[in-house]
Structure 1
Amino acid sequence: MLPDDARREAVAPPRSTRARRVGAVAAALVVLVEAVWLAAALPGAALAGDVGAITVAGWSAVACVGAARRDPATLRRFWTLLAVTMALAAAGRTLWTVQRLGNETLPHTPLIGAIFTAGILTGTTALLCSLAAPRSAVGRARTLLDGVIVALALIPIGWVVVFQDIADADLADPLRTFGLLYPMLDLMQLTILVAVAGPSRPIWRPLTLIGASLATRAGADAVYVSLVAHGTYAPGHVIDVCWPLSYLLIGVATTYPPPPAGEGGDEGIESPLPPWWRVALPYLPVGGAIIAVVLARHPTGQTPHLVFIGMMALLGALALRQGLAANENLRLVARLRRLAYADQLTGLPNRLMFNRRLRRALRDGPPVAVLLLDLDGFKQVNDRFGHATGDSLLTTIADRMRDAVGDDGTIARLGGDEFAVLVDGDRPVAPERLAERLLAALQPSAGEEDVGIHPSASIGIAEYGPQHASHTDLLRDADIAMYAAKAAGKSAYRTCTPGLRESAVTRAELIADLRRAVDEQQLHLDYQPIVDLATGAVRSAEALVRWRHPRLGLLGPAAFLPLAEETGLIVPIDRWVIHEACRAAATWRERAPEATVAVNIAAAHLRRPDLIATVTAATASAGLAPRALTLELTESALIDGSEAVLERLGQLRELGIRIAIDDFGTGYSSLSYLHRIPATELKIDRSFVSRLDTDTRAYATVEMVTRLAGAFDLAVVAEGVETEEQHAAVTAIGCVHGQGYRYGRPGRLADLRPASAPV
């Protein structure tokens, strides 16, 4: 528990805050007393009004000085200028009082007018220095002109309202007529405040109070000018309380804390679009001003001098404002062009600009070459370290590419981790030489390769020739060469040749045919037997998909499954294989109730959450017991799998589906995952089985895997058994099941004998 004194200090506001509040309350009492005094027309009302205004203006100036010392440096100039404004108001009112007491009823002298005008200037400058005000000189000039246009447009309107019924002889005194400018200047400041406060962002409370102060002062000045023009004003009028009230509102504004960091003038936050009325604000009074000019004419047809001067100034301000608008439009167009044609991350030209330059280079004629660069393994950088690290890496790579290419080509970022270089005109460097420089520049420096944040690159080169009808053809060939470089290994480049182009066309046609293969029932399944090595009985069969291509004939899985995996077509193919294999297995089990069927599942399908629904639907529709289905998964698919994949496999095992790890032994870290994967059997890769009779290390590997499977209570299938020697070896090692040409080639499932003589 805190002591009483400490607790009171913890909940009590700081001493400076209390002092500001006490000062504000005292100033408010002064205004209240003055209002009662003037309303009751007590003796000395004029002097009471003057003393009250001087007192509150002086207190407000001191309060603004305190705010300038207390608030952050970004607000210091704002409060300092407001302090000067209040000090000028106090000085002007003091001089007014002294001259009025010296038997001048209304001392409209040039000196007093100059002091109040100086206060208008400093107050306007303060508004333009607020946190919400534009940061550029052009933006401040535009905002100032908006206020000036409103003020000038209101001069003829004010003339009609105030001086319409005043005789010409009564307007001989220029100080009397030019007093109309005071409320116009107040409204100018109010317009500027509305402009800088922002269209939709939260408004800082002091700006609201300052706006109320300006509105109060504008109303008071307008009424004062009207009363003076009609000869009905006398010092001590109740309207006099409005000026100290306007000073009080500014002083109260100093009691509020500064806005949170980042609000107001943060350049990093995108400014919201202003509403229509904010854009039209400076032009709304202009129509009224035109009508007022007609109404303000004397019977002689002449326009009053003040109205004429105001309209001329209004035309000049409008012209200057439109000039600024035109300049801003030009700057905006230039910025939009930069945004449209430049990559925002690296500053390089983007795809749109690169295509434009490439088309122009092709119009100028050869030599023209394109180098297409794609980073190898960049996705792993994003996945492992995050997109911020990936963006930093792209920026670094862009800088290295600039240094490597120099003036010999135009670099662009086409998107993601794909870059391009255009070589055209008189640049003497060969594209192959430029590719070598790029690959050398992108080699990881000391330490980068160790932390794994520097991928290599594959580069494809295409040179313009008669076979290129447009820039898209050239880019297509560069893309073909780039994929050939990827196939050749990391950090390599390839130049597009007719052979590569023809191969790419064939590949594209094969992909298009593959999209129709499932729908047109061009796929079929062969089944390779899996036998019990102890008895020779066929206990299971692996479903192997074939494609009866209408033009190319029968294609094995190696000819089209890699394409299916690249294009995502492997998922619908997998679904078809699962359903077809379950249907065939259900028929087969009528003759062999204990027989099972195995189906290969692609890594992409394993990562899909609908895999379980697919498997259960296939077994249910075929009437196949789930335990009769085995899903074969490669080591790489399991090692790269997430927790969701492992959970999915666990759900399949709970349903009774068997899980086999295919090609076991070819991975590099699957042993550490084996205790987490709910597998039921291991299939030893054929690369080990084929060397059993010649390689002692292969024999030791198969023997070790068999013992490991026994420790995990997993069945073992030796794949690729083709010779008697291999059969004898896997049997001697202790493998339970075998698969390969030694026991039967793939064929129809109905042709397999579920139990036969020993093999």
Structure 2
Amino acid sequence: MSREDVEQTVVRSPARARAGRWGLLAVGAIIAGEAVWLASDLPAQELVSDLGALTVAVWAGWACVGAARRQPATMRRFWLLLAATLVLAAAGRAVWTIQRLLGDDLPHTLPIGLLFVASLVTGTTAILCSVTAPRTRVGRARTLLDGVIVGLALVPVGWVLIFRTVTMADLDEPLRTAGLLYPMFDLMQLTILVVVIGRGRPVWGGLTLLAASLSVRAVADTIYVSWVAAGTYQLGTVVDVLWPVSYLLIGAATRLPPPAHIDRADDCGESPMPPRWRVALPYLPVGGAIVATLLAREPDGHTPLPVFLTMMTLMAALALRQSLAANENLRLVARLRQLAYVDQLTGLPNRLAFTRRLRAALHGAKPVAVLLLDLDGFKQVNDRFGHTTGDTLLTGLSRRMRRAVADDGMIARIGGDEFAVLVTGDRPAAPERLAERLLAALHPSAGEEVVGVHPSASIGIAEYGPQHISYTDLLRDADIAMYAAKAAGKSAYRRCTPALRESAVGRAELIADLRRAVDEGQLHLEFQPIVDLATGTVRSAEALVRWRHPQLGMLSPARFLPLAEETGLILPIDRWVIHEACRAAATWQDRVPSATVAVNIAASHLRRPDLIATVVEATAGAGLAPRALTLELTESALIEGSDAVLDRLSQLRELGIRIAIDDFGTGYSSLSYLHRIPATELKIDRSFVARIPEDNRAYATVEMVTRLAGAFDLAVVAEGVETDRQHDAVAAIGCLQGQGYRYGRPAALGELRTVLAQRRPPGETGVAESDLTLT
């Protein structure tokens, strides 16, 4: 039942709510009147006391019946049992009153005793049926024994404090003697209630009022027993008001809404780790009982029979409690073992269980193989349909895979959408055959096809051999093969080979070296000029990053930039390139102020809000005007950009930064995005320029892009110009600028400055190359 359903359940009509409040006030007035009557020593005090308690008990019982009708079904038994308890209390009070009017001053008779025992049973059962009570039989029995132990421990203490002067002859009436045990039963119920409500969750106000009711009743019964034992008890005293007050508190509890956690079944179950006070509670009073037993010994050394019998019963209860605790510990160990080794969603063994089995298998002499399986595109299922649907699908797929593996191996879930199969011994099916069965089991069913779910998997296979030192090496090889299967198009399997292993190890080592490349100064920039096609003047230079590896030598960007983008290292590399390019461009600005610098920006960097701060810091730190910096971004990265990315580009343009669309024509080439992106130039991809002399369609494409750029007021740069024919073609088409080997290969900053000095634009003068030094 949801919280909303609970709230709807307890909604009452305004008239009924007002009637409940008026009833509560009326009963409070009755109790107040009774207290005044008894304190004023008015006539018929005994009858007023009895009628007051009887009236309030009946009202509280009726209020519990009403609460059972209003509140959720999960609390109905609790309220009905409390109603029965109050009805039995009212019946006992009625019998007490009748027998007292017939001449018995303290009528501790069998009917009253039976009614009292019945109310004790129903009241205790009600507490054990509350929403915070244990849900297992062992838990309920243990809680009941806690109350019994604490209650029994009170008997020796009470004997020393109250009954030590009472002789056995004074206790010749068994029913009257049993009536002196009322405080023990009150403390027993109160202990059970404290255990029930103290289970590590918010305390419901209704149980708090019930605890207050039991506390008031315990005080009243203790005073009653003390006075009876001393022979000073008189009917119709102010103490008699405490019993109706205890009934009033129960009636007040019926006015409170049900607990907020009633709809969460896990809150009502067994607590896996009880608090320390909960463990020590039944044992703390035992020490006091032992001390009281020693003090209660008679001069001849004998222990009074009631105390002796109580201690024997207490020891038996402790022994039973201890056996239940041991049983509960065994269940807890079994539960913790299940939590430790079983995946709770699919019921399959988890990573820890798989690892244990794998390590044990490697100690044997039989062959061992591991299949590592990763579901393809499972994240899209969660994103599209939600995690609940994803969990349902995952559970169904795990059942299919379990059936596919059957007895040929052990399948485990080792991650979110990752599974592993351990194959050992004399295998009836080869690992490849098992992989084929798993892939066949994952073919979408008719229902999955309807909703667009197409489960598949990539599987890596590795067999244990001399090249493996431990189980981690075997899992690493299976992981390598699994990624090779993904790279091969997914929904496939691959076996780990020495070539795959060598490639993966080399790749991992290269990534590790790349993490240190920026800090250790292994990266440097080369610059390729971008020239004016008409005059040959250098208008700009594109900064290209190179990696001088300590062992592998000079590495091209194609070797390490894809790894940098995959691992996120592209961000610090991009920042370094922007700062270094701005500092380099600042060295030629005072001699060739029209020459700008261009820097490539990764798509992931474009999506970061700190890009603007990086650019501003780099230009300001180098003393470079923002107009002298061009950021080159790929067509695909721009199209995939969100509104936030477009806003970021607009802010860069407002600062004066130029925006170039790199490799134009190789992406989606959607004309609509040209209206939204604040670009300043297009760079035609080299694949079109290379085919211009002999491919009319390439020529037409470059011509169309050039006209399109003119319509959008964008400058055009032809990339990859290597021959005179290509130069003449792009110049004839109308491209204003070009970049390629014909005009200069990527070179160090010193060589670029030499080119700039030789191709200074008309009207610009400067010093000799020897004066253009980098400071």
TM beyond 0.5? yes
Report the alpha carbon displacement of residue 380 of structure 1 after superposing the two structures with TM.
Answer: 4.7
SS in structure 2 at match of 1:419:
strand
CA contact (8 A) 1:133 1:265 kept: no
* Structure 1: gaps spanning 5 or more residues: 1-10
Aligned position for 1:749 = 752
Moved more, 244-253 or 428-437: 244-253
Aligned position for 1:5 = none
The CA distance in 2 between the partners of 1:79 and 1:227, in whole Å, is: 34
Moved more, 19-28 or 474-483: 19-28
Aligned position for 2:527 = 527
Report the alpha carbon displacement of residue 188 of structure 1 after superposing the two structures with TM.
Answer: 0.9
> Structure 1 residue 700 and structure 2 residue 703: aligned?
no
Report the alpha carbon displacement of residue 147 of structure 1 after superposing the two structures with TM.
Answer: 1.0
Aligned position for 1:660 = 660
Report the alpha carbon displacement of residue 397 of structure 1 after superposing the two structures with TM.
Answer: 3.7
| Residue identity in the other structure for 1:621 | G
Report the alpha carbon displacement of residue 754 of structure 1 after superposing the two structures with TM.
Answer: 6.3
SS in structure 1 at match of 2:675:
coil
Aligned position for 2:769 = none
| Residue identity in the other structure for 1:465 | G
Residue 681 to residue 268, structure 1, CA distance change in 2 (3 Å): farther
| Residue identity in the other structure for 1:726 | Q
CA contact (8 A) 2:135 2:269 kept: no
SS in structure 1 at match of 2:668:
coil
Report the alpha carbon displacement of residue 187 of structure 1 after superposing the two structures with TM.
Answer: 1.1
CA contact (8 A) 2:160 2:296 kept: yes
| Offset from partner CA, 1:28-71 (integer Å, 9 cap, x none) | 34333333333333333223322333233223222322222232
| Residue identity in the other structure for 2:216 | T
Residue 449 to residue 252, structure 1, CA distance change in 2 (3 Å): closer
SS in structure 2 at match of 1:117:
helix
Moved more, 594-603 or 470-479: 594-603
The CA distance in 1 between the partners of 2:526 and 2:667, in whole Å, is: 27
Aligned position for 1:313 = 313
Give identity over the alignment, percent.
Answer: 75
Report the alpha carbon displacement of residue 369 of structure 1 after superposing the two structures with TM.
Answer: 1.1
The CA distance in 1 between the partners of 2:702 and 2:449, in whole Å, is: 35
Residue 446 to residue 745, structure 1, CA distance change in 2 (3 Å): farther
Aligned position for 1:189 = 189
CA contact (8 A) 2:135 2:268 kept: no
Moved more, 675-684 or 621-630: 621-630
The CA distance in 2 between the partners of 1:357 and 1:219, in whole Å, is: 61
| Residue identity in the other structure for 1:253 | A
Moved more, 541-550 or 12-21: 12-21
| Residue identity in the other structure for 2:50 | D
The CA distance in 2 between the partners of 1:448 and 1:679, in whole Å, is: 44
| Offset from partner CA, 1:680-724 (integer Å, 9 cap, x none) | 111111222223344444333323322222222111112122334
| Residue identity in the other structure for 1:330 | L
The CA distance in 1 between the partners of 2:632 and 2:385, in whole Å, is: 32
Report the alpha carbon displacement of residue 298 of structure 1 after superposing the two structures with TM.
Answer: 2.2
| Offset from partner CA, 1:606-650 (integer Å, 9 cap, x none) | 233332233233323333222122111112322333333222222
Report the alpha carbon displacement of residue 451 of structure 1 after superposing the two structures with TM.
Answer: 6.5
| Residue identity in the other structure for 1:752 | V
Report the alpha carbon displacement of residue 756 of structure 1 after superposing the two structures with TM.
Answer: 5.1
The CA distance in 2 between the partners of 1:547 and 1:250, in whole Å, is: 80
Aligned position for 2:715 = 715
Report the alpha carbon displacement of residue 215 of structure 1 after superposing the two structures with TM.
Answer: 1.7
Residue 700 to residue 417, structure 1, CA distance change in 2 (3 Å): farther
| Offset from partner CA, 1:345-373 (integer Å, 9 cap, x none) | 43332222221111111112332111222
Report the alpha carbon displacement of residue 261 of structure 1 after superposing the two structures with TM.
Answer: 6.6
SS in structure 2 at match of 1:752:
helix
SS in structure 1 at match of 2:302:
coil
CA contact (8 A) 2:132 2:267 kept: no
CA contact (8 A) 2:64 2:251 kept: yes
The CA distance in 2 between the partners of 1:305 and 1:174, in whole Å, is: 14
The CA distance in 2 between the partners of 1:418 and 1:541, in whole Å, is: 47
Moved more, 449-458 or 359-368: 449-458
The CA distance in 1 between the partners of 2:99 and 2:430, in whole Å, is: 89
> Structure 1 residue 81 and structure 2 residue 81: aligned?
yes
Q: How does 1:82-481 map to 2 (within 5 A)?
A: 82-199=82-199, 201-260=201-260, 262=262, 267=267, 276-382=276-382, 387-388=387-388, 390-445=390-445, 454=454, 456-481=456-481
Residue 697 to residue 509, structure 1, CA distance change in 2 (3 Å): same
CA contact (8 A) 1:176 1:229 kept: no
Aligned position for 1:687 = 687
Aligned position for 1:488 = 488
CA contact (8 A) 1:131 1:264 kept: no
CA contact (8 A) 1:151 1:184 kept: yes
State the TM-score, normalizing by the size of structure 1: 0.91
CA contact (8 A) 1:178 1:306 kept: no
Residue 107 to residue 450, structure 1, CA distance change in 2 (3 Å): closer
Moved more, 314-323 or 537-546: 537-546
Report the alpha carbon displacement of residue 198 of structure 1 after superposing the two structures with TM.
Answer: 3.1
Aligned position for 1:644 = 644
Q: How does 1:492-531 map to 2 (within 5 A)?
A: 492-531=492-531
| Offset from partner CA, 1:459-478 (integer Å, 9 cap, x none) | 22111111111101101111
SS in structure 2 at match of 1:262:
helix
CA contact (8 A) 1:536 1:757 kept: no
CA contact (8 A) 2:134 2:268 kept: no
Aligned position for 1:3 = none
Moved more, 391-400 or 215-224: 391-400
SS in structure 2 at match of 1:288:
helix
Moved more, 619-628 or 257-266: 257-266
CA contact (8 A) 1:448 1:454 kept: yes
CA contact (8 A) 1:199 1:273 kept: no
| Residue identity in the other structure for 2:405 | V
Residue 162 to residue 681, structure 1, CA distance change in 2 (3 Å): same
Report the alpha carbon displacement of residue 289 of structure 1 after superposing the two structures with TM.
Answer: 0.5
| Residue identity in the other structure for 2:732 | A
The CA distance in 1 between the partners of 2:269 and 2:741, in whole Å, is: 69
SS in structure 1 at match of 2:286:
helix
| Offset from partner CA, 1:248-297 (integer Å, 9 cap, x none) | 33233333343447368664899697654444332222111111111122
Report the alpha carbon displacement of residue 125 of structure 1 after superposing the two structures with TM.
Answer: 0.8
Residue 507 to residue 28, structure 1, CA distance change in 2 (3 Å): closer
Aligned position for 2:567 = 567
CA contact (8 A) 1:376 1:456 kept: yes
Give RMSD over aligned pairs.
2.9
The CA distance in 2 between the partners of 1:103 and 1:582, in whole Å, is: 111
SS in structure 1 at match of 2:104:
coil
Residue 439 to residue 663, structure 1, CA distance change in 2 (3 Å): farther
| Residue identity in the other structure for 1:637 | A
Moved more, 392-401 or 207-216: 392-401
Report the alpha carbon displacement of residue 123 of structure 1 after superposing the two structures with TM.
Answer: 0.9
Q: How many residues align?
A: 748
The CA distance in 2 between the partners of 1:377 and 1:610, in whole Å, is: 30
SS in structure 2 at match of 1:282:
coil
The CA distance in 2 between the partners of 1:113 and 1:385, in whole Å, is: 64
The CA distance in 1 between the partners of 2:12 and 2:347, in whole Å, is: 54
State the TM-score, normalizing by the size of structure 2: 0.89
| Offset from partner CA, 1:537-565 (integer Å, 9 cap, x none) | 33222222222333333222112222222
| Residue identity in the other structure for 1:69 | R
Aligned position for 1:15 = 15
The CA distance in 1 between the partners of 2:126 and 2:204, in whole Å, is: 15
Residue 460 to residue 32, structure 1, CA distance change in 2 (3 Å): same
SS in structure 1 at match of 2:208:
helix
| Residue identity in the other structure for 2:638 | L
The CA distance in 2 between the partners of 1:262 and 1:168, in whole Å, is: 51
